[in-house]
Amino acid sequence: MKKLIKLALLILFLLSFAYPANAATIDLVRSTVGYTDLIDQSEILEFLWNTPSISNEEVRYLIKDIPSEFDVSEANVQISSNKGTFDKAIKSSKIALKSTTALTGNLEVKIKIPIPPDCPENTYTLEISEMVGSDSDMLSPSSIDITVQKSLTKPSTPILNDPGTTDTDGNYIASWSSVSGATSYTLEEDTSSSFSSPTLVHSGAGTSKYVTGKSNGTYYYRVKACNACGCSGWSNIVNIEVSIPHERGWNRTFGGTGNDVAYSVQQTSDGGYILAGYTGSYGAGSADFWLVKTDSKGNEQWNKTFGGTGYDIAYSVQQTSDDGYILAGCTKSYVAGSYDAWVVKTDSNGNMQWDKTLGGTDWDVAYSVQQTTDGGYILAGYTDSYGAGLDDALLVKIDSNGSIQWEKTFGGTGWDQAKAVRQTTDGGFIIAGLTGPNGIDLANVWLVKTDFNGNKRWEKTFGGNSWDTAESVRQTSDGGYILAGCTLSYGAGGSDFWLVKTDSSGNKQWDKTFGGTDEDYAYSVQQTTDGGFILAGCSAPHSSPILAGCTDLYGAGGSDAWLVKTDCNGKEQWNKTFGGTDDDYASSVQQTPGGGYILAGYTKSYGAGSADFWLIKTMGEPTELPVHNLNTEEDFSTIQAAIDDLGTKEGHTITVDHGTYNEHLVIDKPLKLMGEDKSTTIIEGGGSGKCVHVTANNVEISGFTIQNSTYGIWLESSDGCTINRNIIQDNCDGIYTSHRHRLSFFKALKPQCK
Q: Which residues pair with 28 in a beta bridge?
A: 49
Domain-embedded: residue 292:
no
C-alpha angle 269-275-278 in degrees, rounded to nearest 5: 155
* Residue 569 sits in the same domain as residue 632: no
What does the pLDDT read at residue 3?
A: 34
| Domain end among 624, 653, 675 | 624
What does the pLDDT read at residue 620?
A: 63
DSSP code, position 167: E
Cα distances (Å, whole numbers) of residue 384 to 325, 341, 705: 28, 11, 49
Q: Which residues pair with 127 in a beta bridge?
A: 64, 143
Cα separation, 45 vs 8, whole angstroms? 9
What residues make up the domain containing 36?
27-149
Backbone φ and ψ of 536, nearest 5°: -115, 135
* Residue 201 sits in the same domain as residue 137: no
Helices (H) and strands (E) counted in the chain, each on its own, are 1, 62
| Domain end among 149, 181, 199 | 149
* Residue 618 sits in the same domain as residue 632: no
What does the pLDDT read at residue 754?
A: 40
Domain-embedded: residue 585:
yes
Cβ proximity of 44 and 152 under 8 Å:
no
Nearest to 645 by CA among 630, 660, 658: 630
For residue 633, the domain's CATH number is 2.160.20.10
* Residue 660 sits in the same domain as residue 724: yes
Cα separation, 124 vs 725, whole angstroms? 95
What does the pLDDT read at residue 245?
A: 63
pTM score of the predicted model: 0.60
Paired sense of beta strands 166-167 and 238-242, if any: parallel
At 70, the amino acid letter reads: F
Domain-embedded: residue 742:
yes
Domain-embedded: residue 538:
yes
* Residue 680 sits in the same domain as residue 710: yes
Specify the number of domains making up the chain.
4
Exposed/middle/buried for residue 85 (C-beta within 10 Å: 0-12, 13-18, 19+):
exposed
* Residue 544 sits in the same domain as residue 610: yes
Cβ proximity of 718 and 699 under 8 Å:
yes
CA atoms within 13 A on the CB side of 704: 29
Q: Give every CB contact of residue 624 below 8 A, 6+ residues apart in sequence.
A: 246, 248, 249, 635
At 274, the amino acid letter reads: I
Cα distances (Å, whole numbers) of residue 602 to 28, 253, 260, 582, 610: 80, 8, 7, 11, 10
Polymer length in residues for the chain: 754
* Residue 579 sits in the same domain as residue 651: no
Cβ proximity of 24 and 153 under 8 Å:
no
Cβ proximity of 433 and 419 under 8 Å:
yes
At 611, the amino acid letter reads: A
What does the pLDDT read at residue 743?
A: 62
Cβ proximity of 694 and 672 under 8 Å:
no
For residue 185, the domain's CATH number is 2.60.40.10
Sheet strands (E) in 273-334: 273-279, 288-294, 300-306, 312-319, 325-331
What does the pLDDT read at residue 750?
A: 52
Condensed to tens digits (0 to 9), the pLDDT of residues 366-409 reads: 999 999 999 999 999 999 888 776 889 999 999 999 999 999 99
* Residue 182 sits in the same domain as residue 142: no
Cβ proximity of 528 and 536 under 8 Å:
no
* Residue 81 sits in the same domain as residue 145: yes
* Residue 193 sits in the same domain as residue 140: no
What does the pLDDT read at residue 150?
A: 66
Paired sense of beta strands 456-462 and 444-450, if any: antiparallel
Domain-embedded: residue 454:
no
| Ramachandran bin of 218, using left for φ above 0, alpha for ψ from -120 to 50, beta for the remaining angles | beta
What does the pLDDT read at residue 179?
A: 93
For residue 83, the domain's CATH number is 2.60.40.3670
Cα separation, 96 vs 60, whole angstroms? 7
Radius of gyration of the chain (CA): 39
Cβ proximity of 491 and 467 under 8 Å:
no
> If the chain, 754 residues long, is cut into consecutive pieces of 10 residues, what is the mean pLDDT of each piece?
32 29 38 47 69 68 74 74 71 68 70 76 72 55 68 86 81 91 93 93 91 84 90 94 72 92 94 94 90 93 95 96 96 84 97 94 94 96 84 95 96 92 97 82 91 97 91 96 92 84 97 86 93 85 35 53 92 85 88 86 82 87 76 87 91 90 93 89 90 92 92 86 89 80 54 48
Q: Give every CB contact of residue 135 below 8 A, 6+ residues apart in sequence.
A: none
Cα separation, 32 vs 110, whole angstroms? 12
Cβ proximity of 483 and 434 under 8 Å:
no
| Domain end among 624, 641, 667 | 624
Cα distances (Å, whole numbers) of residue 466 to 226, 404, 682: 63, 37, 37
Cβ proximity of 366 and 316 under 8 Å:
yes
What does the pLDDT read at residue 50?
A: 66
Exposed/middle/buried for residue 663 (C-beta within 10 Å: 0-12, 13-18, 19+):
middle
What does the pLDDT read at residue 634?
A: 82
Backbone φ and ψ of 79, nearest 5°: -120, 130
Condensed to tens digits (0 to 9), the pLDDT of residues 529-545 reads: 889 999 998 865 433 33
Q: Which contiguous run of DSSP H or E holds residue 642?
A: helix 639-644
Backbone φ and ψ of 608, nearest 5°: -100, -20
Report the C-alpha dihedral over residues 694, 698, 701, 706, rounded to 10 degrees.
Answer: 20
What does the pLDDT read at residue 405?
A: 97
At 651, the amino acid letter reads: G
Q: Give every CB contact of residue 66 below 8 A, 6+ residues apart in sequence.
A: 72, 75, 90, 92, 93, 94, 95, 113, 126
> Cα–chain-centroid distance for residue 661?
40
What does the pLDDT read at residue 2?
A: 35
* Residue 542 sits in the same domain as residue 660: no
Cα separation, 371 vs 331, whole angstroms? 21
What does the pLDDT read at residue 21?
A: 33
DSSP code, position 40: E
Cβ proximity of 563 and 535 under 8 Å:
yes
Domain-embedded: residue 519:
yes
Nearest to 207 by CA among 223, 221, 193, 228: 223
Exposed/middle/buried for residue 648 (C-beta within 10 Å: 0-12, 13-18, 19+):
buried
Cα separation, 92 vs 75, whole angstroms? 9
Cβ proximity of 141 and 127 under 8 Å:
yes
* Residue 620 sits in the same domain as residue 485: yes
Domain-embedded: residue 216:
yes
3-state helix/strand/coil string of 424-439: CCCCCEEEEEEEECCC
Paired sense of beta strands 659-661 and 672-675, if any: unpaired
Sheet strands (E) in 349-467: 352-358, 364-371, 377-383, 392-398, 404-410, 415-423, 429-436, 444-450, 456-462
Q: Which contiguous run of DSSP H or E holds residue 679?
A: none
Paired sense of beta strands 711-715 and 690-694, if any: parallel
> Cα–chain-centroid distance for residue 448?
23
Cα separation, 433 vs 446, whole angstroms? 5
| Backbone CA torsion sign across 513, 519, 524, 530 | negative
Domain-embedded: residue 437:
no
Cβ proximity of 735 and 724 under 8 Å:
no
CA atoms within 13 A on the CB side of 479: 6
Cα distances (Å, whole numbers) of residue 665 to 17, 650, 692: 110, 17, 5
